[in-house]
Amino acid sequence: MQPARKLPITSFLPKSIRGRYLVVAVLISGVLLVIAVAGWRYVKQTTGLQVQRIQQRAEATDAIGDLDSQIRNLEASLHKEIIQPGEVNSRILARHFRYLRAATDRLLESDWVKADPVLRALGEQLEADNDRLERKVQNLLNLRRNITNWFPAVGTMQKVMQPNYQRFSTQVRLAIEESETNNKLPEQTEIYKLLVAVRHASVRLVSEFRLLVANRFGIFSSQPNVAMQTRIANVNIFSREVSRLLAELGRLDKSNKLGIQQHESLQAMNLSFQRWSKAYKQVEEMLYGKNWRTDLPVLRNTIAPLIRETRQRISTIRLELAVGSARDITQLTKATKQLSDFVIFLAVAIMLLLFVGFLVIRQTLLVPIGKISSALKSEAHGKEEITLPKATTDEARDLVEAFDEMRNQVRQRQAHLDFLAHHDPLTDLPNRVLFRDRLQNAINRVKRQNTRASLMFLDLDRFKQINDSLGHNTGDKLLQMVADRLTRHIRHVDTVARLGGDEFAIIIEDVSEPSQVAIVAEKILSAIDEHFEIESRQLHVTTSIGIATCPDDGTEVNNLIKNADTAMYHSKENGPNGFTFYSAEMTARMTEFFSKELALREAIVNEEFVLYYQPIIDAKSGSVSGCEALLRWRHPEKGILAPAEFLDVLEDTDLITPVTKWVINQALCDFKQFLTAKRSQFTLSINISARLLEEQLIIDTLRPALLFHGIHASKIILEITEDTLVKRSGQAEKFLTALKDLGVRIAIDDFGKGQSSLNRLRRFPIDVVKIDKEFVCDVPTDAYDSELVTAVIAMAHSLKKHVIAEGVESSAQYDFLLLNNCDAVQGYLFSKPVSADSLVEYLSERTRRCS
Amino acid sequence: MRGQRRFFTLNATPENAPRPRFWQRLGLVLAILCISLPANTFADEALTIGVFPRRTSDATLKMFSPLANYLGQKLNRKVVLNSAPDFNSFWENVANQEYDLVHYNQYHYLRSHSMYGYRVIVRNEEFGRSTISGAIVVRKDSGINKLQDLQDKKIVFGGGRMAMISYIVATHLLRQAGLEEGDYLTQFALNPPKACVATFYRQASAAGAGGRILELPSVKKLLDTSEMKLIAVSKPYAHLPWAVSKNVPTDIATRLQAAMASLGDSEKGRAILKRARLTGLVVSSDSDYDPHRETVFQIVGERY
């Protein structure tokens, strides 16, 4: 078994960014969820705990407030009891203790105290203190219920001093009464005085003592100790006075001067006074002592410390409550801060996460995309060395693969497009673009190597007819076969290109002599001249070749092409199946051609064209049966020019179209005048160019013109040369049929000049045959021409065609034609071509002459 | 009743000296019997340890039960740990000589020594120190840097007016600084840590407590001690005392003293000390508490 390899953590991640995104999103969502739940629970617990604590503290605070209030009430009631004792106070105090216990119980029962053992212990101590305090207060109240216990001196005063003083006073009174009874005795006067003095001194003594007691209670002075000193001094004074008086009485008693009652009273007084004095000393000591009243020490030493201690405990609990509140506020603040910090942390974490995410996306997606983008640019710039990024994710790999596939396809398409751009799709030969490039290269090599290169321009003869008659497919196949033959008959270093239509070009390099090129041209002509078999049909075409040589005929591409093209046109003019080398005269002729074209265009604009009319004479009656419209160019410098001067240029350019339209409209317009001047059988002949057979122009122009001028179509004869019928028989048949449908008549012009065919006369809807003037001019002197004209007239008549002879210039000619039943004649014998106005006059003249 | 228990000493009086040999021997036997009788009587009774109830009864029992057991083994007698529910009960027991060995604060010791004849034999060593200072603690951000700044401020003291270090000694520091009672507002917390907590939470401007209060782990749990500082620390005072009743024979007291002072010498003893949150117990005498007497007199006005 192989040892387990430690896989990197990334190996557990999905390969695709979508998968990784899902994993990371789930992880982050999970973490955020956990954090959110934890935060929610933390806040809930914290706030819940704080709310609970606040409630607990509120409960405890309320109990503490009650405690404090009851303690204050208790103190107030105690003070009241001290100042104004009474049974009501006892009940009030009992009620305060009841409330105090209830408040303490509430405090002990509060959750806040229950939760803290120390506080609970403190509360229990408070409860114990309350019990102790109640007991002490009850003791105090009990103490105050008993006056002797309350004020210890009062007992002595009541039990000893008061009875002894009463006995003393009684004895003094008895002794005084005896003196008053025995007042006649001399010694009684002194005794009486002494006894009265004793009574007075004792009364003052007791009064001072009473003031002493009153001072003790602070009744007459705010400084009881000072007042008491004075009273005590007075008590002592009067006590000594009483003692002295009693001693005087005792001295008189020893001398037996006192009566019996007085003797006994004195003995009793001494005894009572001694007892009173002794008790007074005790009372004086008590009144001066700390415990002169027993309630105050209890209050001061027991109750007050207990209350103070209770207050201190309440204060301590209050402090604990305040600390608890402060701690909770601090914790809440801390929790809030932690939450704030956490939010900030979370924000920073998310930012970091976004940054890390960006880095990851950058590393896994953007960088490969950037590299692929660079590769695309490099590819676009055609660089060969392109490094594709290493794909780490499915998406990047797909992108790289897509790019690679796209690059291959683009390259294939580019190659294909390049081929299409530089080759003819039909023949796969180089097209004009590639041809020009190769020609430029050939010219460059000629310049470098000082050699020659020839350019052949080929145009297939009659290709258009083949194409029109046999269809485009046949034409295309023919072109392919021609291309194949051309390719096979040149060297591989030479270039055959198709420039468009039936035009081909061949670049032949390293030419030393023009004869070499001529040989090649001959070979090509021979190769093309052989028949082509297409769809079981044998076709025969020829080609015309124009040849220009570099550097003799030009060292620039355009120049060389133009010259070869010119040569090719000259070759065509010279007849099919030939080749022509370029010469400078060709250029001159072409220059003339272009200058004439320019002048014709200006002529159209300047309306320099005019129509002349040559009358057509009915041969038998000699009357004017019609006229032929003949185009003339009123040249500003050369005067009136015949069509031979410019018709070829018109037909080789597109100028034939506007001119033809103008001719039809103008001729019909003029013809309207002729009809008013002549009878209604009068006809108008208009020549139609062979170039226009393929177009709808004639019909589209003629029909509205006839309607406009109100001319019946049968009065119009359109003349088409026989040569046109021969060369474009396909188009001609269709064209002539359309014209016949319009109602006009058709005439074959220049009949006999070309390849006259009986079949053609029979096949086409021809109404009139016009015998060319070349045949007419030598009759009747030339036998051949005379027989030919006679045969043509006979043949036409046999086909029920009307015959017009042109170029009749002599009476002999007219007579011959009349003799051979020619229907109508036309020529200088009757009238040369004249303007429309002149024709009108001519017609008027002829009418007058006939009448 | 414990208070009626009688102790006998080894001191021989002249009256006990026998004259003839027989009587001398008989006297010696009787003397031995007399000596051994009360000792045996004391030995038969349990030795009671009282601890000042500054903690809950359960906590007090948990802390000092190992020590009580240890002393029982050392003295070969039953040792009872008494945890009074409140101070009044505790002090009543002290007054009634209910405790043979009692642990309380210095102020209580001075009173019990003066009033009831208790005598210190050892004192606490906490965190390696057998002395403790009083201190005034404030928040660092309070702006209070010296004691005079506490004029008209509220000061919370740990414990009550009988707390030796956190109230009496701390108040002594204030008096030395010229602050008399009434120059500041007095407030009491349950204990010194709670006084610091109250100050930490700004319920008071300063706290009176021990000089090492901020180093206690229990305090560090309650507040951020880095935000607190000491602005005054007193001279060191002898730590909390362990005193024996006047009824405890000297030899027993000596044996107790030896046994307690040697706790740090053994692993078992250190474990007992650790349970009691101590690092040791050091031999101490009454004169070690003379500084306390002077300070108590100056602050409380009581002369012991």
The reply to whether omega before A163 is within 30° of 0 (cis) is no
- Interchain contact, A125 vs B190, CB within 8 Å: no
* Residues shown for chain B: 304
**Rounded to a whole number, what is the largest CA-CA distance in chain A?**
245
Is the pLDDT assigned to residue A9 strictly greater than 80?
Answer: no
Residue A642, φ and ψ in degrees, nearest 5: -80, 160
| A459 close to A566: Cβ distance less than 8 angstroms | no
Q: Is A152-292 in CATH node 3.30.70?
A: no
Of A117, A312, A326, the CB nearest to B188: A312
The full DSSP string for A311-360 is HHHHHHHHHHHHHHHHHHHHHHHHHHHHHHHHHHHHHHHHHHHHHHHHHH
- Which chain A residue shows the shortest CA-CA distance from B157? A316
Which DSSP helix (H) or strand (E) runs through A685?
strand A683-687
Of A117, A128, A319, the CB nearest to B198: A319
Q: Is A425-582 in CATH node 3.30.70.3040?
A: no
Question: How many Å apart are CA B289 and CA A790, to the nearest integer?
Answer: 178
- Interchain contact, B197 vs A121, CB within 8 Å: no
Nearest-CA distance from B48 to chain A in Å? 23
- Interchain contact, B189 vs A125, CB within 8 Å: no
Q: B185-189 and A745-751 as β-strands: parallel, antiparallel, unpaired?
A: unpaired
**Does the model's ipTM exceed the 0.95 cut?**
no
- Which chain B residue shows the shortest CA-CA distance from A313? B188
- Interchain contact, B88 vs A326, CB within 8 Å: no
Q: A125 touching B, CB under 8 A?
A: yes
Nearest-CA distance from B176 to chain A in Å? 25
Model confidence over A744-780: pLDDT tens digits?
Answer: 999 988 887 766 667 777 788 889 999 988 889 888 8
Residue A21, φ and ψ in degrees, nearest 5: -60, -45
- Interchain contact, B190 vs A122, CB within 8 Å: yes
Work out the end-to-end distance of chain B between its first and last CA atoms, rounded to an integer number of angstroms: 28
Interface test with B, best of A319, A327, A333 (most B CBs within 10 A): A319
- Interchain contact, B190 vs A312, CB within 8 Å: no
Q: Please tell me if the domain spanning A152-292 has the same topology as the one spanning A595-850.
A: no
Determine the pLDDT at residue A579.
93
Nearest to A815 by CA among A786, A774, A848: A786
Domain boundaries, chain A: 152-292, 425-582, 595-850
Q: What is the pLDDT along chain B (304 residues), one digit of tens a residue?
A: 333 333 333 333 334 444 445 555 655 555 554 444 444 445 557 899 999 987 778 888 999 999 999 999 999 889 999 888 778 889 999 999 999 999 999 999 999 999 999 999 999 999 899 999 999 999 999 999 999 999 999 999 988 888 999 999 999 999 999 999 899 999 999 889 999 999 999 999 999 999 999 999 989 999 999 999 999 999 999 999 999 999 999 999 999 999 999 999 999 999 999 999 999 999 999 999 999 999 999 999 999 8
Radius of gyration of chain A (CA): 80
Nearest-CA distance from A129 to chain B in Å? 10
- Which chain B residue shows the shortest CA-CA distance from A329? B201
Model confidence over A111-146: pLDDT tens digits?
Answer: 888 888 878 888 888 888 889 899 988 888 888 888
- A chain contacts of residue B87, beta-carbon cutoff 8 Å: 125
- B chain contacts of residue A323, beta-carbon cutoff 8 Å: 194, 197-198, 201, 203
- Interchain contact, A128 vs B187, CB within 8 Å: no
- Which chain A residue shows the shortest CA-CA distance from B158? A316
Q: DSSP 3-state assignment of B159?
A: coil
| A282 close to A156: Cβ distance less than 8 angstroms | yes
Question: How many Å apart are CA B167 and CA A310, to the nearest integer?
Answer: 18
- Interchain contact, A320 vs B194, CB within 8 Å: yes
Model confidence over A374-408: pLDDT tens digits?
Answer: 877 887 777 777 777 777 777 777 877 888 888 78
| A202 close to A169: Cβ distance less than 8 angstroms | yes
Nearest-CA distance from B256 to chain A in Å? 31
Using an 8 Å CB-CB cutoff, list residues of chain B that contact chain A: 56, 85-88, 156, 160, 187-191, 194, 197-198, 201-204
Fold annotation for A595-850? TIM Barrel (3.20.20)
Residue B69: CB atoms within 10 Å: 13
Of A128, A312, A320, the CB nearest to B86: A128
Indicate the residue type of A247: A
Nearest to A182 by CA among A170, A195, A191: A191
Work out the end-to-end distance of chain A between its first and last CA atoms, rounded to an integer number of angstroms: 136
Domains, chain B, in order of start with CATH, read 2-43 (no CATH), 46-129+239-300 (3.40.190.10), 134-234 (3.40.190.10)
For residue A321, give both structure tokens.
């409550």
Q: Rounded to the nearest 10 degrees, how much is the dihedral formed by the CA atoms of A67, A71, A74, A75?
A: -170
Radius of gyration of chain B (CA): 23
Burial of A256 (0-12, 13-18, 19+ CB in 10 A): exposed
